[in-house]
Structure 1
């Protein structure tokens, strides 16, 4: 049996990993506040990447470190805290759905700022995908009245950060190895993330069982959901296009909603229809 192209294998692997990230954030917030969670996520990932990718740092030319710093800021640092804050008021499923706005922002920023071209079918596919996203948003689990859509704006800001990151990598770092980019990102972020953690009450709470349990979820989130995923995501950007790479955010809500089912959240027929529309948009946007 012929295997699908590598870019599609990576796309679905990323969807599985990142689709699971939202439930991990939800579980991590049980024993940590958003700033502790965001900082620990970065620190765990940084330690892991320094162990496996320290030697790869020498492959980054000196003049490209400014772009590595920018991609660390937009690709991980800001979104790590924004998503953690947002999930204190907005469900993990809704956050994952709003994350699907990333491809549209990638397309618009790529065309307006970075001078990238796009085809008509890509634009139509992204619009269809966003239509499915709207269906999912307005049929989200709202039963307990706990949704606070003011916090949803933070997720929208995060999607703009992700879109900026994708275009920066494609434009300025396409010739740098993915492991080098990712390790460089977290070397840049390690000190500020540690400083933020030290300004919280983490040291007085670290001995609590709830905090230690939450740290386990954040460790998985940091190492697998951030470190490993970023390496293969940068690889995907390099072998495909920014729009194709960011289309992973269309698949993430499907995985996140399935995790929600396992966590006793409901999934309606309308949500399933919205998910189908999303997948149709992905197909159209990436059809040759």
Structure 2
């Protein structure tokens, strides 16, 4: 991986790590459903603009809605609408730091889902990774002061189910008919926009948003979804999916950093130790083997 692509990887991790910061800012004001409807709608509109520019240059892939609409709906539900809603629900209670680490459990869920999908036993190393991940999550949330807040354990459960949803989407994508990566992102965001609409009446916005709140929402949609997807697909094109997916291991570091810098969240020894154990478990599950500037991993966090 050359320097330019390494910088792209770090930038992508910084952007996706900031999504938990923006959700933590906006979710208590807008509620999970309104926030995520804005997020996926802004992302879809941004990607539609990019698609239009690509067509002007004779590039890009058509959505082919008649052929792929079911695929976009499934991907939009499990890869965007459901996990985004669950993380936004959890963001009303949990810190950005805790959310980012819980998101990093997606590869561990992926090992379980993959084993069930293939009807095979989980390998020994992956089983050890799952055990370590469970210990790390327990240490992280058990000793963090946010666990004392009302509804904290429901929020933790919601965040873990969100990570599970990502792994289901990944397993589905591996077995689904091949669709161009940009078309997948564009089509699934419009599908996610439709999927969130039925949830809106159940979670009305608690308060009127300020300009700052809407700025956070816009950043979630355009930066953390639209631009992040473009960076991600560029990395896949340049270095392949295996190296691009190492973003999984960088997201929590930025999630913790942004939470501490901008929300003044406390970073205690249990935060660092719990995060390290979770990431070690994830590395075992995914077969991560580091070298100087070349690493391997399995699933992205968003």
Tell me the TM-score normalised to structure 2 length: 0.76
Matched, 1:106 2:110: yes
CA distance in 1, matches of 2:11, 2:112: 26
Equivalent in 46, 57, 67 of residue 71 of structure 2: 67
How many angstroms does 1:34 deviate by?
1.9
CA shift for structure 1 position 250:
4.5
1:79–1:234 CA distance, 2 compared to 1 (3 A) = farther
Indicate how the Cα distance of structure 1 residues 99 and 143 shifts in structure 2: closer, same or farther if over 3 A, else same.
closer
Q: In structure 2, how many angstroms separate the alpha carbons of the residues matched to 1:117 and 1:64?
A: 33
Counterpart of 2:22?
Answer: 24
Partners of 2:133 and 2:282 within 8 A in 1 = yes
Unaligned segments of structure 1, at least 5 residues: none
Q: Is the 8 A contact 1:98 1:137 kept in 2?
A: no
Structure 2 residue 244 is matched with structure 1 residue 240: no
Q: 1:59 Cα shift? A: 5.7
> 2:101, 2:252 within 8 Å by CA — same for their partners in 1?
yes
Could you tell which deviates more after superposition, 46-55 or 248-257? 248-257
| Mean CA deviation greater in 96-105 or 41-50 | 96-105
Query: Is 2:222 aligned against 1:223?
Result: yes
Whether the 8 Å CA contact 1:170–1:237 is kept in 2: the answer is: no
Alignment of 1:129-140 (within 5 A): 129-140=133-144
Deviation string 1:86-109 (CA, Å, 9 cap, x unpaired) is: 222333322222222211111111
Paired residue secondary structure (2:103):
helix
| Mapped partners of 2:204, 2:162: distance in 1 | 26
Offset at 1:269? 2.1
Pairwise CA distance, 1:171: 2.3
- Residues 272 and 86 of structure 1, relative CA distance in 2, 3 Å threshold: closer
Q: Distance in 2 between matches of 1:102 and 1:157?
A: 9
Deviation at 1:152, TM superposition (A): 1.9
CA-CA distance at 1:140 after TM superposition: 2.1
Aligned to 1:76: 80
Structure 1 window deviating more from structure 2 (274-283 vs 33-42): it is 274-283
- The alpha-carbon deviation at position 17 of structure 1 amounts to 1.7
Moved more, 19-28 or 31-40: 31-40
- Across the two proteins, how many residue pairs are aligned to each other? 279
Give the whole-Å Cα distance in 2 for the aligned partners of 1:119 and 1:235: 32
The residue aligned with 1:3 is 2
Structure-2 residue corresponding to 1:45: 43
Structure 1 residues 57 and 89: CA distance shift in structure 2, 3 A: same
Query: Which deviates more, 8-17 or 220-229?
Result: 8-17
Q: CA RMSD in A?
A: 3.6
Q: Which residue of 2 aligns with 1:189?
A: 192
| TM-score, normalising length: structure 1 | 0.79
Matched, 1:92 2:96: yes
Q: Which sections of structure 2, spanning at least 5 residues, go unmatched?
A: 290-295, 297-302
Match of 1:269 in 2: 269
CA contact (8 A) 1:178 1:232 kept: no
How has the CA–CA distance of structure 1 residues 162 and 251 changed in structure 2, closer, same or farther, with 3 Å as cutoff? same
Which residue of structure 2 lines up, in the alignment, with residue 171 of structure 1? 175
- For the residue of structure 1 that corresponds to 2:143, the secondary structure is coil
Displacement after TM superposition at 1:112 (Å): 1.6
Paired position in structure 1 for 2:293: none
Q: State the distance in 2 between where 1:223 and 1:144 align.
A: 34
- Alpha-carbon distance in 1 for matches of 2:231, 2:174: 14
User: What is the rounded CA distance, in whole Å, between the counterparts of 1:273 and 1:141 in structure 2?
Assistant: 15
